[in-house]
Structure 1
Amino acid sequence: MTSVFSIPVITRRAGRVWYRNFEVFLKTWKVNFFPPFIEAFLYLFAIGLGIGSYVGAIDGIPYVNYIAPAILAIAVMNSAFFECTYGSYVRMYYQKSFDAMIATPLSIEDVIAGEILWGATRSVMYVAIMLPVLAAFGVISLPASLLAIPLAFLGGLMFAGIGMCFTAVTPGIDTLNYPSFLFITPMTLFSGTFFPLALLPTAIQYAALVVMPLTHIVAIMRMFTIPSFSWMLFLHLVWIILVTLIVCVLSINLMKKRLIV
């Protein structure tokens, strides 16, 4: 029996799956464009300017500037994760798109890899849409903030892989509510997004660094957008790359087991 950690064989045909999802996206681009555009405004006005008027500054950084990278990081997480959980589950179970693609020369590995790549692409799109909004309000620094785009792809791969792992083991679409509320929501709140990790108990700080991927995305985004680079950037990147490799391999093998059965 193949191990769930076996290195999958992926070909460039995975790009066809990506392109298929891209064509579907283009047909509904207006619907897909406005959510991240409006989301940036909502966060800025409700939290950045609203709550920020009471908070003032954190570590000498105006609060609205402090949360701007968190807005981008959360967009990376949500777009990739939900695309590869609810989106992929609908394509797999209800639309039977996976069955149709596997009936062609595409392998299961290519189909799942294409889905993960598409999830990462959605993260890039969301960040690319939000960046001009944040730049227009002067809460991020250019051109350093443009580094958020390649980071969005790497972070998107990670969260797409994590999402696909949950899709592979969930018995039904309603069960996906569990990782959404028990994994995604805590990360949104306790990953150094809206207040520094240093305010949390030491044990929770360590837990955030070890088991909450968003913590590392937020930290790097903050270095890019303020900007304020440090040697910690490399440690965060190494952590993200290792976890991305693990979850992508695991998700492809778990999905292969599910689809074969």
Structure 2
Amino acid sequence: MSAPAAHFRLPCLSWRFASVWSRNFRVWRKLALPSLLGNLADPMIYLLGLGYGLGALVKTVDGVPYVHFLAAGMVCFSCMNTASFETLYSAFSRMHVQRTWEGLMNTPLALDDIVLAEMVWAASKAALSGTAILLVVTLFGFTSSALTLGVVPLIFLIGLTFAAMGLVVTALAPNYDFFMYYFTLFITPMALLSGVFFPLDQLPAALQIGAQMLPLAHAIAIARPLMLGELPTAVLPHLAVMAAYAAVGFWLAVSLTRRRLLK
């Protein structure tokens, strides 16, 4: 097998990734409180600022108070941002600046294990952040349904999805400035087009079709009904889209990182 073809072979996974996950957790634990507060601040500002400010003008959306409508979008938005920042800035630092990954590869760990650990670690942080916001939203009374518990496993899948995509960008990035393209051209438009702030049916027909290709839209399509006390429809197709993004993104991330580091 030629070198380029070898880079793009299927990932070889093992439980050894857990040791890298544990290492990242122990480092993060030293700064856990400021990290959690930072992850909570941005979505809560959006939720309270827009929920009460814009909500005073909009009143209701789809028959529910605007702040209740916005709450589900903010939970998913927070998971996306947390996973993206972790796999971009933090993972890039470990890979390129600190060269932690190179040190780990001098042990029995394979590069595939390291990339998997980074993806699962970012998803774990996203799940923690999303669960914290879900708790705050519940305490504020923006959701009161027992179905809200169904959002907890969903936020981990959201984390995996955006962590995988973030690692693809990290594998290609020459420096930190490169990440602004990803946020400006992909993450921000996705937040605006996926139903975080307003219903998708308010978009032109062409944009509605485009929104159905975005993983965040499928996450919100499940989370919002659950948080409003309703059972979502077409759950399996929504989950399948997110799982496909996660699987393909992980394969690309591993392949591109091999090409970058295993020359």
Percent of aligned pairs with the same amino acid: 34
| 1:120 aligned residue | 123
Within 5 Å, which residues of 2 pair with 1:102-141?
102-141=105-144
Q: Indicate whether 1:81 and 2:62 are aligned.
A: no
How high is the TM-score relative to the length of structure 1?
A: 0.95
Q: Is 1:239 matched with 2:244? A: no
Aligned partner (choices 216, 219, 243) of residue 218 of structure 2: 216
**Structure 1: distance between partners of 2:90 and 2:32:** 16
1:227: Cα distance to partner?
2.3
Residue by residue over 1:8-44, the C-alpha shift from the partner in whole angstroms, topping out at 9 and shown as x without a partner, is 1111010111111100110101211212333343123
Q: Deviations over 1:141-185 (max 9, x none)?
A: 342112222111111111000000011112222111100111011
Q: Which residue pairs with 2:200 in the alignment? A: 197
Give the aligned partner of residue 67 of structure 1: 70
Q: Is the 8 A contact 1:4 1:250 kept in 2?
A: no
1: CA distance, partners of 2:12 / 2:153? 25
DSSP-derived class of the 1:9 partner: coil
CA offset digits 1:236-257 (Å, max 9, x no partner) = 1111112211111111111111
Query: Which sections of structure 2, spanning at least 5 residues, go unmatched?
Result: none
Give the alignment's Cα RMSD to 1 decimal: 1.4
Structure 1 window deviating more from structure 2 (116-125 vs 42-51): it is 42-51
Matched letter for residue 72 of structure 1: V
- 1:3: Cα distance to partner? 5.8
| Number of the residue aligned with 1:255 | 257
Secondary structure (helix, strand or coil) at the match of 2:196 reads coil
Residues 101-155 of structure 1, C-alpha deviations (whole Å, 9 max, x = no match): 0111110000110000001001111012112210111111342112222111111
Q: How many residues align?
A: 260
1:82–1:38 Cα change, 3 Å = closer
In structure 1, the residue matched to 2:53 is 50
Letter in 2 for 1:254: L
- 2:149 corresponds to: 146
Counterparts of 1:186 and 1:44, CA distance in 2 = 18
Q: 1:101: which partner in 2?
A: 104
Which amino acid letter does the alignment assign opposite residue 232 of structure 1? A
Q: 1:135 to 1:40 in 2, by over 3 A?
A: farther
Is the Cα–Cα contact under 8 Å of residues 36 and 129 in structure 1 kept in the other structure?
no
Q: 1:171-201 deviations in whole A, cap 9, x for unaligned?
A: 2221111001110111111111111111111
Name the structure 2 match of 1:31.
Answer: 34
Describe the SS at the equivalent of 2:144. Answer: coil
Q: Give the alignment of 1:137-176 within 5 angstroms.
A: 137-176=140-179
1:230: Cα distance to partner?
3.4
CA contact (8 A) 2:165 2:245 kept: no
- Point out where structure 1 has 5 or more consecutive residues left out of the alignment: none
